[in-house]
Structure 1
């Protein structure tokens, strides 16, 4: 069952403060990676011990859109709907999503505590060691949150996960930018997923013996870099194996836009208009320009064999 989502806008003029004490897990939680999972699990344990409801306080949009000029398009490891689904799997039943605006961003940390956190009636506030709130120049960090609480609630700070280096959303984004989907999966605790809509393409793959489904991916989702991958794709609640190409198909049209095409193994159905989920399992190779269609077909044979071996290893 999905968590209920309540959207908040600062100042919280039309929000009725909660009457019951809560345990709050707060953070942006993009990716809901293993570090984020530790925050939620810590908060859930405290909520269970105190027999209080667990709530999550998160934000939208990505903080970079408010605090700085962005070098890359606004994209998410987990858009809000996927984030809520993942939080729900961790036992969260209530999510408060606070709109991150310029007015909110300039609030002092004390104002943030008094005017936002206290409206959720916290008994305990839980967050990662590096979580910030309010003006960073005014010590809006977890080390000072107990001071701003004025003894109204407890504070629990979850340390960094360092078993394979510091797990962070930025590290996962960098891994995807470099095609290192296995490293991203290690930090996420699952394979990175994107969604999409099956649309018509130029049908060239069919003439090569490798028909593909063409996926229109939402602009706000974080695709791995250009290349060829072993993937799983979910269509109408059924998972299939395949290999995906993210690229421009430079063998035939060097200047075409980037597309996502997936050759699904042992599949022969028309699925235009279907909404799909893609799991990015393993990177196979970069995009290459081939001297002929025959050379490309030969490489596709090798790609398929490699993808099938990797996917078999994952399933075994």
Structure 2
């Protein structure tokens, strides 16, 4: 997959000359609904003998349109993760546009001229709720009117699970902040994952016989609810089973900020500074304050048993 970064106004030389099927969206999370868009685009591109292209943004449009502060935006996926998932789905060209006032205020006709026709789209694939140009002025019906036979418009309807559950980034966020990672994973079509790197902690886990990797997460990512989870951790390209806690070390009472601590099972390496990915599979229990270290150690032993049992299913 080739990645091309665009800042408005872009230089035409940056654009691939071949005709493409262009899929539009922000794609936070790349959940099953987003995957349906990409798959529809891939099918159309194969039929037309075109490359499959995606155009997305580097930041949430609300940061420009709604005066939202960056700290109030919690993404489900990093730009790097998003690109990796797009490549897995068979995307050939990945256009990431810097979302600015100049880009966001483009008149609908100019958006289509520069970012659809200008990107050599033979067809455009987007969700039923996709909008473009200034807020509140456009919808997919208008895109069909403005296409003027220059490209085909393919609109994908709302996607739902067989149970009727709506597939959306909003629903995924709700489940994650409530600790219901299994339900979030159903909508994502894969385990929700947190990326970051390993930093030094208080080393209490080692003293208790359960050493942990303290994960400093990539900034701007949504973190699941406080609790202890059955998880898997990727270190240096290899996945390991782990029990991972998100919490405030309430037994010791000395942490004002949450920590993410992964006890990686059957693992004994120094990995400070290593990039790490935590994939969350099931919530096991809430964070708990223990009266003694013996009680804490006994609970950790039970957590390990539960973790191994859960992960046999994954």
Do the two structures share a fold, i.e. TM-score over 0.5? yes
- Count, aligned residues: 311
Instruction: Report the alpha carbon displacement of residue 15 of structure 1 after superposing the two structures with TM.
Output: 4.5
Query: Are 2:225 and 1:229 aligned?
Result: no
Greater mean alpha carbon deviation, residues 39-48 or residues 281-290: 281-290
The whole-number CA distance in structure 1 between the counterparts of 2:65 and 2:251 is 41
2:131 maps to which residue?
A: 132
CA offsets 1:261-314 (integer angstroms, 9 cap, x no match): 111112222222221111111111111112221221222122222111111122
The whole-number CA distance in structure 2 between the counterparts of 1:19 and 1:274 is 40
The whole-number CA distance in structure 1 between the counterparts of 2:67 and 2:3 is 29
Do the aligned partners of residues 19 and 200 (structure 1) sit closer, same or farther apart at CA in structure 2, a change above 3 Å counting? closer
Contact 1:178 1:225 in 2 (8 A): yes
Query: Are 2:49 and 1:58 aligned?
Result: no
Query: Are 2:171 and 1:171 aligned?
Result: yes
1:203 maps to which residue?
A: 203
Q: Secondary structure at the match of 1:283?
A: strand
Q: Secondary structure at the match of 2:287?
A: coil
1:270 maps to which residue?
A: 270
Do the aligned partners of residues 52 and 222 (structure 1) sit closer, same or farther apart at CA in structure 2, a change above 3 Å counting? same
2:303 maps to which residue?
A: 303
The whole-number CA distance in structure 2 between the counterparts of 1:16 and 1:243 is 45
The whole-number CA distance in structure 2 between the counterparts of 1:57 and 1:143 is 19
2:5 maps to which residue?
A: 7
Instruction: Report the alpha carbon displacement of residue 84 of structure 1 after superposing the two structures with TM.
Output: 0.7
Q: Give structure 1 stretches of 5+ with no counterpart.
A: none
Kindly report the root-mean-square deviation, in angstroms, between the aligned alpha carbons of the 2 structures: 1.6
How high is the TM-score relative to the length of structure 1? 0.94
The whole-number CA distance in structure 2 between the counterparts of 1:104 and 1:168 is 25
The whole-number CA distance in structure 2 between the counterparts of 1:213 and 1:160 is 40
Do the aligned partners of residues 303 and 17 (structure 1) sit closer, same or farther apart at CA in structure 2, a change above 3 Å counting? closer
How high is the TM-score relative to the length of structure 2? 0.94
Do the aligned partners of residues 255 and 272 (structure 1) sit closer, same or farther apart at CA in structure 2, a change above 3 Å counting? closer
Q: Secondary structure at the match of 1:136?
A: coil
1:215 maps to which residue?
A: 215
Instruction: Report the alpha carbon displacement of residue 256 of structure 1 after superposing the two structures with TM.
Output: 2.8
The whole-number CA distance in structure 2 between the counterparts of 1:206 and 1:16 is 52
Q: Secondary structure at the match of 2:174?
A: helix
The whole-number CA distance in structure 2 between the counterparts of 1:307 and 1:169 is 27
